[in-house]
Every structure is written in C-alpha cells, then in structure tokens.
Chain A
Amino acid sequence: MRGAKGARWAAVAIVVAMGATACGGGGDTGNGNAGGKNNGVVSVEIGQPQNTLVPSNTYETEGGQVIHALFTGLTKIDPNNKIVNDEAQSITTKDNKVWTIKLKPGYTFHNGEAVTAQSYVDAWNYGADQTNAQQTNALFSHIAGYTDLNPGPKKTVKTHTLSGLKAVDANTLQVTLTAPFSAFPTQLSFTGFVPLPKAFFKDPKGFGKKPIGNGPYEAKTSFVDNEGISLTKYAKYPDASQYNVKGIDFKVYSQQDTAYKDLVAGNLDVLPVIPTSGLATYKKDLPGHTIDVPEGATGYIGFPLKYNKAFANPKIRQAISMSIDRDTIASKVFLGARTAADDYVPPLIDGYRKGACGEACTFNPTKAKQLFTEAGGLPGNSLEIGYNADGDHKVWVEAVANEIQKSLGVKVTAKPFEQFQSILNDLDAKKYQGAFRMGWQMDYPNMEDFLRPVFSKDAIQNGSNYAGYTNDQFEQLLSQGDQATSQADAIKKYQAADDVLLKDLPYIPVYFYRLNTGFSNKISSMNIIAHQIDWTSVKLA
C-alpha cells in the first residue's frame, strides 16, 4: 500500500516539476502562434531536401514543394489533371518533333531580370549537361543533342549547348526533339524544366541556398538545412492577386510522426502526407481539414524476367496476381490509404480504364491454382518476395506473401533487404532469383510516364525496368503514341501498349497510392495537384 501511494506521489511530483519547468518557455510560443494566426503566413511540413534548391537537381517531392512555390514553368496541371499553359502563351507543333513555344510577356525573376526564351535555354542546357550531374538529367533526353552533352563518365563534354534548343526571339523558344514525343508539353510541367536567371550561373551554390525564381513566392532568407525556408509573396508576379497566402514557412521535420503532432497541436498548417501512425485517426483529429484523393503512383510486385526462367510463363504471373486479394490489402493493411490496382495507370491519369486488368487482377484463388498447375508451378514449390526494409513495405509484402501461400499452396517468404538499392544491386548482378516489390510515382501526368520509364527497352539501361522486360509490339505502340497528332489519339495508342502489358504482366500491379493530407484551422480549403500544393487554391480562414 505504501509503495503504491509513493508511486502516485512520485508521478505527480515529476509531472508537476516538468510542467513547471517547461511552462516558462512554453507560454511565449502559445502567444506567438495566436498573434500569428491571421497574418496570412502558412507553415508547411517538408523533409530535408536532398540537394540544394536548384530546380534541375531536385527530383524528390520535398525540395520540389519549395521549388514549386518559387518557380513557374511553361505548363502546369490544373485541378482536373489536365495540362494547361502557365508561362507559355502557346505551344504549337506540326509533327510532335519541332515545338514552338511563345512566352507570356511580363514575367520577371525575383531580382527584376525579365524571363526570356534564353532563360529557358540556359537552364535546360545546364540541366542536360553531365558535367553538372543534375538529378533530373535524364528528363532532357528527348531534346536533340542530348547525347553530345552526355558522352559518359570520365569523358569530357565537348559542347555545353543542346542543338535542339533555340531562342528565336525574347519571347519565342523553339525546341527540336530527337523523335516525335506527344507528351512533351506534359513533361514541361515538371519543376526540372523551369527557367533560371543569369545570377544562377555566376554562383550556383549560393543560388541553391537562396533561389531566385520567377514564381508567385520569393525567398527572403536562405534555406537553413534541417530547419527550412520562409517565402513571401512576390508583388510583381502577374497573377499575384490569385494568391491568398501572403507567405509560406517550409519547416523541415525529420519525423512525420512529430509533424503530425505539431499539426494537431496547431503549430503547423499543412502536412502534405499523413504518416501511417496517423491514418486511423486523422479524419477525427482534424475534422473537415483533410484531403483524401488518388495519387499518381502505382505499387507492383516485379519478377527478374531477364534471367530467371521460372517466371517466364505469363500464366505463372497471372496465377500469382489472381491469388492476391487487393481490396483487403488496400482497406485492412493500408487502412484505406491505397486502392486496389486494376490497371498499370492510376485513376487520376487521362487514359486510365477501370478494370482494364480484368480477370488477372481479380482475386480468384481457384482459377489461380488451376492456372498455376497448368503452367507447371515454381521450382521447389516456393516463392520469395524481396522488399526494402527501409521503407514502409514489410506489412503489405508479408500480407501478399501470406495470400499467395494460401491460394497457390506454395511456400512464400517475404525477404527483407536492408535498402532499396540492395535489391537493385542484386538484380543487376543477376543474383537474386525471387520476386520483388516495386513502385512508380509519376513525374508528369501522362500515361506515357507509367509505361516507358518502367517497361520499355530503354528503361533497362536508363529507367526502372528492373524486370528486363522487352516486347517489340509494346515499343511500336509507344512510339505510335508519341507521334499521335491529338491527345485523344495518343491515349488510344498508349492504351493499346498498356493492353500488351496487361496481357504479359511483367509486373503485377497491386495498389494505387492515395494522398492523405491534413491542414490546420487557419486554412479553410486547399487542393493538392500532383503531390504539390496548388497555392491558388489555398483559402485562409
């Protein structure tokens, strides 16, 4: 009895002591936030960007979020996920190969320099040049002259200008591609394609810390690593009146769990991705202040087709696919943060067809077992599914493994790899024989971005085709899609290419990602388009 009483006292004493010591400092914060409530500044969670804030060197969403607020590109994605012109007045082509882009006049960089066609030419030349080792280098590969700027490691680059780029006059840009590519205007919406001012080339390092953009917000201070950056509205931006928010504080968090707590406590205004720990409760914690929309990303199970003959028969892949109950995985394992995949292309992309995958992506253990036996099964009657333990993959891969085991009667093991690149290394070395998890997040909202970078011949060398899948018919249909003169026509061809994949099933599509976002009471409504906050849609309470 005495002990119990003592314990209670001790607990009370500790809490009181901690409360008392913490109170002195905490009081100020509360007041600070209350005072700042209506000043029009919004704080946004980001992770520490991988590189300094140079647009062509930013290929992840964290830094991308900041670049997106600082810069304006030629095209952008509208709320219906259609591509519309942004800084471009018009984009015209006759053959999808030579593109003429007219700029809207009146845009300036934050240091006053006018944005001209040359600003784009210079920026793209820099991004495509291997000397500069920019992360988005490969995105420029469609432009004529790309290979001259990328001769290979330890070789010197002879020219630093893409032959396919020409600034005809201050407001006219002419781009020649190596081959017709109908998705080019879509690609231009990616932050890697924004223009750069002359100041950048004088001091790329300093620029990366305090970028000078041409967008609606300008950097008043430098980016502080692991802390963040503050932006204010750029008064001379032509569409400035459309922006409600006066300033943006990007705050770096190392843990999304912590950011989530800060959001609930009211110290943070936007958390673009709700962490798994918050998924079950976030709609209750933040009533009316959540976003739950489809995202442009797909999760797969892949197979090392290029060297493991055991998976060569498409029937085997179909059988494995049909033995997975995708709806249960999406709703139970992912708590609704994913939806069952029924195509390679996710729903928000133009050209997605509901149920395109058909029977092959529908849970049917009996049929699966039958197909599996017909195809002769797997050697050793066992299957391994590799996943990287550094991501959030263990739970769903184990669930999938369990389902396949139950449906097909084979022994399935989920094999953890320490990091994603350990899987890739083993695949490159042709060492790993099992299946593996894989995912693809779009760079630009076009069907083509879900086909070529993951399944084409080129993507074995330069992309994410880790299966080593090749199919000539698929390649032909892709290039027909590239040459199509209308968007509708292109989609038709890409869909035909998609059908080839759905028949072959080089990867098994398992789920589509959803975007779960939360925001504070300071914001009354907002919208996220292609992972990025649409700042014109953010309305303050």
Chain B
Amino acid sequence: MGRFVVRRVLQAIPVLIGVTFLIYCLVFLLPGDPIRALMGEKQDPHLALVLRARYHLDDPLVVQYWHYITGVFRGDLGTTYTGRSISDIVAQRFPVTLKLALTAFGFEAVIGILAGILSALKRGRFADNVVFIATLFLISIPVFVLGNVLQLELGVKFKLTPVAGIEDGWPASYVLPGLVLAATSMAYIARLTRTSMIESVRSDYVRTAIAKGLPRRRVIGIHALRNSLIPVVTFLGMDLGSLMGGAIITERVFNLPGIGGQLAQSVSLREGPVVVGLVTLLILIYLVANLVVDVLYAVLDPRIRYE
C-alpha cells in the first residue's frame, strides 16, 4: 500500500510539469494582448510599452515560461499585470472555493446516497418515483437557472438566505450555492446508488446474511451498501475536482470570490501566470482526490489489492 501511494505521488510530478507547460502555451497562444486588455477602453500606448517591457511580454514564449517557472521554484508565483501577488490571490480565493466545494460535496454525498438507498429499497413504490422525478428535474435544469431562481425566491422574496456574498460566513453564505452546485451530481449519485444497491440487494451474500438472521439494518448498511458504494466513491472522487474547477457559474451567480470567477476573469484578461497557477492547484486536487479514491477501494472491498 505504501509503495503504491509513493508510486502514484511520483507519477504526479511529470503530469504536473507537462500540464503547466501546456496550459502556459495555450494561454499565450490566445489572441489578444494582456496589456491592452488591462487598459480597457482608455489606451495609453506609451504606458503599454513600458509595461510590456516590465513583464517580458515581447520575449519568446519559452523565455517567458522560463521566467515564470524559475520563479515558481523560488516559491514566487509571480504577479498579475496589475502588480497583485498571485500567491495572495490563491491564498484568498482558494478557501472560498474549498468551502463551497466541500459543502456541495457533503450535500451530494449525504442526500444523494440516502435518496439512492431509499429509492432502491422502495423500488417501484411512491418514494422511488419521487426520487426519480426529482433527479430528472435536477439533471435537466441548467445550473444558472436553478441558481437564479432559488436566489430570487429564497433570498430576495422570502429573505431566508443571504442573496449573495460571503459576509455571513460558513455555513449561511454557502448553503444555497452549495446546493445549487451539488444539484446535478446529487441526482447522478442517487441514480448510481439506486442501481448499484438494487444489484447487491439481490445478490447471494445478502441473501446469506439475511438467512443468518442478521438485523436488517446491518444487512443493508454494511453488507449491501459497502459493495454498492464502489462506483459511487469513484464518482464522488472525480467530482470533487470538477466541483472546485466547475464552480464558475455558481460563484458568479452568488458573488462568491472563489477560484472559478478568478479563472474566468484571468482567461479573459490573458493573465497567463494566474491561470497556470490556479489550474496547477486544481490538478493537484484532482490527483489527490483520485489517489484517495483508489485507496478507498481497498477499504471498501478487501479483494482489491495494489501489490
């Protein structure tokens, strides 16, 4: 197990370097000029030249990347073209997205799995239908529609939740955005759990467990659920990464100063170093989440071994 983890961590290094270089190239290949983007509608050509020289923007791509990556190894993520430290941006924005993603993750894991179990156990009955329709509803509604509608109804009309921003801290400010962000995945997880659960409820070892006279709670909770969770855990693991990176719309609707909004803004401003810094962080999270998933397999199903 230990060797497995070490190998996976080592594998991550070339992945990271390759991906940062690729992203760096892609951002710099985008048409448009960051300094002009910076100045908006009031252009000052003289000042633009001064800034271009300062940020090495007239050098070839490889030289620019070299300036960037050597900085990273010195522990300096660089500055934006407006002189803000990128480390500061990350430090300030990352916790917001993390809180949001974990809130959403909690919702989708708890509500999704519970709804899935309920639906599997009451198969074909009223509760199953309710879950079926609810999941269909969540999957088919676009995130920004759901976000805006809930924001208007719960926040503006009934004043149950804060409309936007993070002033009220966790959990108040994060509950509604978290739910909105989790909505689609929550539905998938409910479906996934249901299918997988129905399969294991019918399997031989569950029948054996019932025949042994184990209480129903133990049969369902330990014997059936544990096996059913393997595909669900895979999905959850992958999803944590996409929750972090995919929160752009939710963050915009609810005005949360997280990674998603910054990423979108930095891409449009052609701020290569910021994009690369943030994406690198997201890749790291992806890699770690996948590693955790792989390790969890062995815990859930002892037959799966890594050596």
Residues of A within 8 A of B (CB): 2-3, 6-7, 9-11, 13-14, 18-19, 21-26, 28-30, 32, 50-52, 59-60, 130, 133-135, 137-138, 150, 152-154, 205, 224-227, 251-255, 258-259, 261-262, 264-267, 390, 418-422, 424-425, 439, 441, 461-462, 464
Q: Which of B155-163, B206-214, B223-231, B284-292 contacts A (4 or more CB under 8 A)?
A: B155-163
The answer to whether A26 and B32 have CB atoms under 8 Å apart is no
Interface of B is mostly: helix
B172 near A: Cβ within 8 Å?
A: yes
Name the B residues within 8 Å of A154 (CB-CB): 53
Name the A residues within 8 Å of B165 (CB-CB): 227, 251, 253, 262, 267
B2 near A: Cβ within 8 Å?
A: no
B34 → chain A closest CB, angstroms: 9
**Contacts beyond the supplied A10-B133, A152-B46, A265-B155: 14 A-B pairs with Cβ under 8 Å:** A7-B133, A10-B130, A25-B173, A26-B160, A26-B161, A59-B42, A60-B40, A135-B47, A253-B255, A254-B252, A258-B253, A421-B32, A421-B36, A422-B32
Name the B residues within 8 Å of A439 (CB-CB): 41
User: Which of A153, A258, A418 has a CB less than 8 Å from the CB of B32?
Assistant: A418
Bound Cα distance A134, B48 (Å): 10
Name the A residues within 8 Å of B193 (CB-CB): none
B59 near A: Cβ within 8 Å?
A: no
User: Which of A10, A14, A152, A255 has a CB less than 8 Å from the CB of B255?
Assistant: A255
The answer to whether B36 and A25 have CB atoms under 8 Å apart is no
The answer to whether B159 and A50 have CB atoms under 8 Å apart is no
Name the A residues within 8 Å of B155 (CB-CB): 261, 265
The answer to whether A153 and B179 have CB atoms under 8 Å apart is no
B37 near A: Cβ within 8 Å?
A: yes
Listed by A's residue number, 29 A-B pairs whose Cβ atoms lie within 8 Å are A2-B129, A3-B129, A6-B129, A7-B133, A10-B134, A13-B130, A18-B179, A23-B160, A23-B161, A26-B154, A52-B82, A59-B42, A130-B50, A205-B83, A225-B92, A254-B252, A254-B261, A254-B265, A258-B164, A258-B255, A261-B152, A262-B163, A262-B164, A265-B163, A267-B162, A418-B31, A419-B37, A421-B32, A425-B36
Residue of A nearest to B150 (CB): A18
Bound Cα distance A179, B65 (Å): 45
Q: A26-B161, A138-B46, A424-B43 are in contact. Are A419 and B268 (CB under 8 A)?
A: yes
B176 near A: Cβ within 8 Å?
A: yes
Name the B residues within 8 Å of A51 (CB-CB): 82-83
Residues of B within 8 A of A (CB): 31-33, 36-47, 49-54, 82-84, 88-89, 92-93, 126, 129-134, 137, 150-152, 154-156, 158-166, 168, 171-173, 175-176, 179, 251-255, 257, 261-262, 265, 268
Name the A residues within 8 Å of B160 (CB-CB): 19, 22-23, 26
Name the A residues within 8 Å of B164 (CB-CB): 253, 258-259, 261-262, 267
User: Which of B37, B83, B172, B252 has a CB less than 8 Å from the CB of A26?
Assistant: B172
Bound Cα distance A51, B41 (Å): 16
The answer to whether A225 and B179 have CB atoms under 8 Å apart is no
Name the B residues within 8 Å of A18 (CB-CB): 150, 154, 176, 179
Highest count of chain A CB atoms <10 Å: which of B45, B134, B165: B165
Bound Cα distance A390, B52 (Å): 23
Bound Cα distance A13, B244 (Å): 28
List 9 tightest A-B contacts by C-beta distance, closest first: A25-B172, A226-B257, A421-B36, A153-B49, A10-B134, A22-B161, A265-B156, A26-B161, A153-B53
Name the A residues within 8 Å of B37 (CB-CB): 419, 421
User: Which of A267, A425, A464 has a CB less than 8 Å from the CB of B33?
Assistant: A425
Bound Cα distance A255, B164 (Å): 10
